[in-house]
Amino acid sequence: MNVALFQTLFWDGRSPSLDHQALQPILNPVEMGMPDGETAMKAIRDDAEYQEAFKKAYVREMNYEDLGRAIGAFERTLVFLDSPFRRFLNGDSDAISDEALAGFELYDGKARCVTCHPMNPSNPLGSDHRFHNVGVSARHQDFEELAKQATKILAEDSSEQKLDELAVGTDLSELGRFMITLNRVDIGSFRTPLILNIGITQPYMHDGSLATLWDVMDHYNKGGEANPFLDGGIEPLALSEEEIDQVVAFLFTLTDVRFAEENQQQFELQRAAAKKNRPIRDEAMAERSILPFEQRVTSSKSTDQ
């Protein structure tokens, strides 16, 4: 949805256009696993309906590049901006609840969402199209080790062995944008996702590791996950439970009205799930009685001794 409005594609931004991006999963061994474009074409070339449609659209024989163009063209039609919140902004004061409105104020203020998720008529998606390390990767056990090795690769020319280890048998993708730029600053950073329709695009974060928007709020409320590359703009927010509910209520007003039913269903499902379990919630950190990096610093010494 709304991918037509992205500047780069994939979580690490390695693809510049939809036409280009569409062809990648076909060849990716862990996705569709086609050895090459020609093999992929073989699978659909005999279909008369496809043949005719392609002929009509591109006035030439079916080919792999046009396949990308066609999928891209389809994706460009998937624009879903007509949300209750947009209607509210256009003057329909009943379009969203008071709770959601309070959530919008938090989104714009105390919860600090708006800086990375700006929403305005020039840029309505709620993404700054930048890459941030918000610490999600840091919850993966091997991230710290991967990051350490990555910085070593950058720092030393005596570390070939290390890079080899890094390359073999680890999940490099957790290094995010770094794998594209090899910039140290990009370690563990991923593109800010668009926030429209967020209610129905669960699970959340680049790795789908959070099930509900309450979990997402818990993640940001505690100031993300401390790691040496954490974006310092991710600060503990000290949001109360009521405030979290308000922000989540607001986020559910960003779904296109054509998905209203699904949205309502998701809202109820997620609320029920969140009532049962809030695995990320950490009030001590949200309230700043325990500080980010504090446990890392004090525990690293004790384990060394």
Partner 1 sequence: MATHPSVETKYMEERRELFHGIRNLERRSFLKVSAAALGASAGLAYPHSFTPVSVAQGAEDTGSDQAFRFAYVSDSHLYEKDVNDRFVRGLLRAVDDVNNLDPQPDFVFYGGDLAQLGQEKELELGAQILKNLKAPLRIMVGEHDWYLDMGQKWQELFGDPTYSFDHKGVHFVVLNSVVEADFWTERNMTPMERMMTVAGLDNSLQSPFTVGQTQRKWLQDDLEKLSDDARLIILSHSPLYKLYKPWNFWTDDAEEVQAILNRFKNVVVIHGHTHQLLTNRIGNIHFHGVLSTAWPWPYAPEGMPELTIEMSRPDPFNPNDGCGDGEVHVHPDGLVDKIYNLWNRNPVSVTAAYTASGGSDSVPPKPNRPSY
Partner 2 sequence: MNWTLIRGSARRAIVCAMLLFWAAFLAGCKHPSETAELDAADPQSDAGKETVATADTVDVKSCDGENTVQVAKGLTGQAMADALMDQWQRNHPEANWVTEEKEKHVFLPPADNSALLQGDQGKGHVYGNFTERDLITWAREAEKFVAEGSRIFHSGDELGSQIAVSCDMCHPHAANTHPETYPKYQVQLGRVVLLRDMINWCVENPVRAEPLDPNGPKMRALEAYIMAQRKGTVMEYGKH
Residues that bind partner 1 (CB under 8 A): 14-16, 20, 24, 112, 115, 148, 151-158, 160-161, 163-164, 167, 179-185, 226, 228-229, 231-233, 235-236, 288, 291-294, 296-298, 300-301, 304
- When the beta carbons of 128 and 283 are compared against partner 2, the nearer one is 128
- When the beta carbons of 4 and 163 are compared against partner 1, the nearer one is 163
Stretch that binds partner 2, among 33-41, 84-92, 103-111, 212-220 (CB under 8 A): 103-111
Over the chain, what HEC string results? CCHHHCCCECCCCCECCHHHHHHHHHHCCCCCCCCCHHHHHHHHHCCHHHHHHHHHHHCCCCCHHHHHHHHHHHHHCCCCCCCHHHHHHCCCCCCCCHHHHHHHHHHHCCCCCCCCCCCECCECCCCCCCEECCCCHHHCCCHHHHHHHHHHHHHCCCCHHHHHHHHCCCCHHHHECHHHHCCHHHCCEEECCCCCCHHHCCCECCCCCECCHHHHHHHHHCCCCCCCCCCCCCCCCCCCHHHHHHHHHHHCCCCCHHHHHHHHHHHHHHHHHHHHCCCCCCHHHHCCCCCCCHHHHHHHHHHHC
94 binds, among partner 2, partner 1, none (CB under 5 to 8 A by kind): none
- When the beta carbons of 118 and 199 are compared against partner 2, the nearer one is 118
- When the beta carbons of 45 and 288 are compared against partner 2, the nearer one is 288
Which listed residue (16, 44, 78, 110) binds partner 2 by CB under 8 A?
A: 110
292 binds, among partner 2, partner 1, none (CB under 5 to 8 A by kind): partner 1
271 binds, among partner 2, partner 1, none (CB under 5 to 8 A by kind): none
103 binds, among partner 1, partner 2, none (CB under 5 to 8 A by kind): none
279 binds, among partner 2, partner 1, none (CB under 5 to 8 A by kind): none
- When the beta carbons of 79 and 290 are compared against partner 1, the nearer one is 290
- When the beta carbons of 55 and 110 are compared against partner 2, the nearer one is 110
- When the beta carbons of 24 and 201 are compared against partner 1, the nearer one is 24
Handedness of CA 76, 77, 83, 85 (dihedral sign): positive
**Is 109 an interacting residue with respect to partner 2 (CB under 8 A)?**
yes
Question: Residue 136 class from Cβ within 10 Å (0-12 exposed, 13-18 middle, 19+ buried)?
Answer: buried
Which listed residue (120, 158, 298, 303) binds partner 2 by CB under 8 A?
A: 120
Which listed residue (76, 112, 162, 271) binds partner 2 by CB under 8 A?
A: 112
160 binds, among partner 2, partner 1, none (CB under 5 to 8 A by kind): partner 1
What are the residues whose beta carbons fall under 8 Å from the beta carbon of 211, sequence distance 6 or more? 202, 203, 204, 270, 273
For partner 2, the binding residues (CB under 8 A) are 108-110, 112, 114-115, 117-120, 128
